[in-house]
Amino acid sequence: MWKKIKRLIYIIILANILFIAWGKFFNPIVTITQVGGLIEYGKLKRDYVSYDEMGNNVKKAVLAAEDQRFFDHNGFDYKAIEKALESNQKGKKLRGGSTISQQTAKNVFLWQGRSWVRKGFETVYTFIIELVWGKDVILERYLNSIEMGRGVFGVEAASKYYFKKSAQNLTKSEAAWIATILPNPKKYDPKNPSAYLNKKHNWIMRQMNNITLK
C-alpha cells in the first residue's frame, strides 16, 4: 500500500514538473476555469496570441488595473497584501491582494474559489513560475488565459468579442475598457458600463501613463 502511495506521489510530482516546463514554452491546452465556463455558458471563446502580438495598450491597461508593481515584485506584493488585510479588518468591501503572478498560477494550474488549500498550492506555483518562467511568459500566460466575459478567455478573444478587432489594434481607451471588467468579468460589460465602470475606466486611463513595459 505504501509503495503505491509513494509511486502516486512521484507521478504527481513528475506530472507537475512536466506541466510547468511545458508552460514556459506553450499556453495551456485547457484550464479548469475554461472548462467551467464551457459547461456554464456552452461556449469557449479564446484565441491564444504571443506576447508581441498582444500590443502594448492592453498590457498597460491590465497592469494598471491589476498589478502596477508586477515587474518589481517577486510574485508577491506585500504592500498590497497589507492594504487588503487592513481594508478587510475594517469591515470594508472584501479586497484581494493577489498579483498577476498569483492569478496566473491559479488560472493555469488550479481552480477558482476561496480556500486555504488552493491558496497554499497557489503560493507554491507562484514561487516556481517566477523562477522558471520569468515575467514576460507569466504575463503572456495570464493575458491568454484570464476570464474576460461569460465563456470568453484572454485579451485576444475579448478584443474580438467586444470591439471586433485584434488586441494589438486596440486604442488606449478600448484597452482600458477591457481592463475595467477585471476582476469580475461575469458581472460587468464594457458595452453597457455603469457609473462605477465609467469612473474606473477614467482611472485606468490615467494610470496607464505610469506603466512602463520591460
- Rounded to 5 degrees, what are φ and ψ at 147? -75, 130
Peptide bond into 193 cis (omega under 30): no
Q: Distance between CA 119 and CA 102 in Å, rounded?
A: 9
Written as nine digits, the cell of 163 is 470591439
pLDDT computed for residue 114 by the predictor: 79
Q: Distance between CA 203 and CA 73 in Å, rounded?
A: 23
- Across 106-131, b (16+ Cβ under 10 Å) vs e yields bbbbbeeeeeeeeeebbeebbbbbbe
CATH number of 2-208: 1.10.3810.10
List, in sequence order, every residue forming a beta bridge with 149; answer none if it has no partner: 152
- List per-residue pLDDT tens for the chain, 214 residues long: 777 777 777 788 788 888 888 999 999 999 999 999 999 998 999 999 999 999 999 999 999 999 999 999 988 887 766 666 665 555 555 555 789 999 999 999 988 877 888 889 999 999 999 999 999 999 999 999 999 999 999 999 999 999 999 999 999 999 999 999 998 888 898 888 999 999 999 999 999 999 999 7
Is the Cβ–Cβ distance between 110 and 121 less than 8 Å?
Answer: yes
Domain ranges of the chain: 2-208
pLDDT computed for residue 81 by the predictor: 67
Residue carrying the nine cell digits 498582444: 54
* Of 197, 178, 185, the residue nearest 61 (C-alpha): 178
pLDDT computed for residue 107 by the predictor: 93
Torsion-angle region of 180 (φ positive above 0: left; ψ -120 to 50: alpha; else: beta): alpha
